């Protein structure tokens, strides 16, 4: 029987009623002749509750204990989903990461999947089981400790299972009905896209579009997993969602497909760093070891052998970043006069595959922001995206004006 992977996010399993609705969607895929692997998140709010307890108990927590605690939310949903399916007379059982097993690295709280062993689940499918309900977001290290893949990791779990089981498709059920040109809460002109390329989705995901986790898109791209994002709440007939697929499957690319934003990026500046060869490595080495996801980097022009170094990182990593840099300073590896964290910023990004063949996109973006009187603090570009850091108070205005400037309300649905 062909395997289909279906993933339900936290809002899609937020209550017993919602779990039941989700189970009904699973049931109809079972009736259609699929063996289904269901990946579930924790019930909405549960993970935040657990993370809150961890942070209150131990601000610089042992990530191994964080993982042991936080993974419990998914275990609960997996069991409840299995029971719900059994009540519908569908043979189903739950699987936790260590039971599958989903083998990951030991990088707790940000582990990477190394291998999904398919034998156990496959043999249950052969015995007549129709649905394997798998707790998303978690795995097990080679020392038998529970690991997690980082927030939103259930998407990655879903895609990895789709790849490992050679699934016909990976359907990501969530609280939105697809991928939009930007967040509809910021502008009513936002439009749903029918298709988007892996590359664009990858940029949007990493830029703060919360619909899909970055790594899940990377994985889908690498293994060419057909990924569909759709709503748990629309009736199945309407909600065909957005298909994330390879570039070749999209007839005409947009210059800009979407405007993304993120409040969760902080700007950190090391003031008066000794400017010497290898200084960047000395700064970003310790940050990397501490697991800090550095995004944008700017180095000012040096004066009198000293310079300022600015970078951005997720706001929830600021404490760790400060610790890593101060430790490196006290060990004499780097030298700076001051470390300033500015969490009052937002990152705005324009993304589109068409940028590759069309010039002037950056200029248009800067001009648009300038016309609105918005000062750009940091710029970063890639082949298919341009990102800027601005004062947070201008975030909405920036998104709206860029959405207008690139005429995204006219994008073909």
Q: State the residues that interact with a second copy by CB under 8 A.
A: 16, 19, 50, 53-54, 56-58, 61-62, 64-66, 68-69, 71-73, 75-76, 78-80, 82-84, 86-87, 93-94, 96, 98-99, 144-146
Return d(Cα 63, Cα 148) in angstroms, integer.
Answer: 9
Angle between helices 153-164 and 214-223 (to 10 degrees): 10
Range list of β-strands (E), 136-216: 138-140, 146-148, 170-174, 179-180, 192-193, 195-197
110/135 with CB nearer a second copy = 135
Phi, psi of 121 (to 5 degrees): -70, -45
Question: Considering beta carbons, is residue 30 or 78 the nearer one to a second copy?
Answer: 78
Q: Which of 142, 166 has the CB closer to a second copy?
A: 142
C-alpha–C-alpha distance, residues 249 and 229, integer Å = 16
Which CB atom, from 133 or from 229, has the smaller least distance to a second copy? 133
Do residues 275 and 309 lie in contact, with contact meaning Cβ atoms separated by under 8 Å? Answer: no
For a second copy, the closer of residues 144 and 252 by Cβ is 144
Of the CA atoms within 13 Å of residue 83, those in its CB half-sphere come to: 9
Question: Helix count (H) and strand count (E) of the chain?
Answer: 12, 22
Q: Which is nearer to a second copy, 79 or 291 (CB)?
A: 79
DSSP for 237-281? TT---EEEE-GGG-SS--S--EEEEES-EEEEEEEEEE--TTHHH
Kindly state the smallest distance separating residue 40's Cβ from a second copy, in Å.
12
71 or 401, CB closer to a second copy?
Answer: 71
User: In 3D, which of 25, 19, 15, 21 has the Cα closest to residue 40?
Assistant: 19
Alpha-carbon distance values, 208 to 179, 193, 216, 262 (Å): 13, 17, 14, 5
Between 154 and 182, name the residue whose CB sits nearer to a second copy. 154
Helix, strand, coil tally for the chain in percent (to 5) = 40, 25, 35
Least distance from C-beta 111 to a second copy, angstroms?
Answer: 16
Q: Are 346 and 390 in contact (CB under 8 A)?
A: yes
**What is the smallest separation between the CB atom of 146 and a second copy, expressed in angstroms?**
7
Smallest distance from a second copy to CB 249, Å: 39
Distance in Å, CB of 95 to a second copy, minimum: 9
The token duo for 62 is: 């042992």
């Amino acid at each position: 029987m062909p395997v289909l992977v279906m993933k339900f996010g936290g809002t899609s399993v937020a209550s017993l009623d919602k779990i039941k609705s989700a189970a009904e969607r699973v049931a109809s895929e079972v009736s259609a002749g699929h063996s289904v692997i269901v990946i579930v998140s924790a019930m909405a709010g549960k993970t935040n509750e657990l993370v809150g307890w961890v942070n209150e108990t131990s601000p610089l927590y042992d990530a191994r204990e964080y993982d042991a605690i936080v993974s419990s939310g998914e275990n609960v949903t997996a069991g409840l989903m299995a029971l719900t399916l059994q009540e519908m007379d569908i043979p189903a059982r739950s699987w936790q990461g260590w039971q599958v097993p989903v083998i990951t690295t030991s990088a707790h709280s940000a582990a990477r999947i190394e291998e999904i062993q398919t034998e156990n689940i496959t043999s249950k499918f052969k015995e007549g089981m129709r649905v394997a309900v798998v707790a998303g977001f978690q795995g097990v290290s080679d020392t038998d400790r529970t690991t997690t893949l980082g927030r939103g990791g259930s998407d990655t779990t879903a895609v990895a299972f789709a790849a490992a089981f050679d699934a016909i498709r990976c359907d990501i059920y969530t609280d939105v009905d697809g991928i939009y040109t930007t967040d509809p809460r910021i502008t009513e002109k936002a439009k749903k896209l029918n298709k988007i390329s892996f590359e664009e989705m990858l940029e949007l995901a990493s830029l703060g579009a919360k619909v899909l986790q970055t790594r899940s898109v990377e994985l889908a791209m690498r293994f060419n997993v057909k990924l569909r994002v759709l709503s748990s709440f629309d009736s199945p007939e309407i909600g065909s969602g957005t298909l994330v697929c390879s570039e070749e499957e999209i007839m005409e690319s947009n210059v800009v497909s979407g405007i993304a934003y993120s409040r969760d990026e902080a700007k950190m500046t090391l003031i008066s760093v000794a400017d010497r060869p290898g200084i960047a490595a000395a700064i970003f080495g310790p940050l990397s070891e501490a697991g800090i996801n550095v995004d944008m980097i700017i180095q000012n022009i040096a004066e009198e052998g000293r310079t300022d170094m600015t970078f951005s990182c997720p706001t929830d990593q600021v404490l760790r970043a400060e610790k890593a840099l101060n430790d490196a300073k006290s060990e004499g590896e780097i030298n700076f006069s001051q470390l300033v964290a500015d969490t009052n910023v937002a990152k705005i990004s324009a993304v589109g595959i068409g940028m590759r063949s069309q010039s002037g996109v950056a200029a248009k973006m800067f001009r648009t922001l300038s016309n609105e009187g918005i000062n750009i603090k940091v710029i970063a570009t890639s082949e298919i995206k341009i990102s800027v850091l601005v004062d947070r108070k201008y975030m909405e205005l920036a998104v709206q004006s860029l959405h207008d400037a690139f005429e995204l309300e006219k994008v073909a649905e």
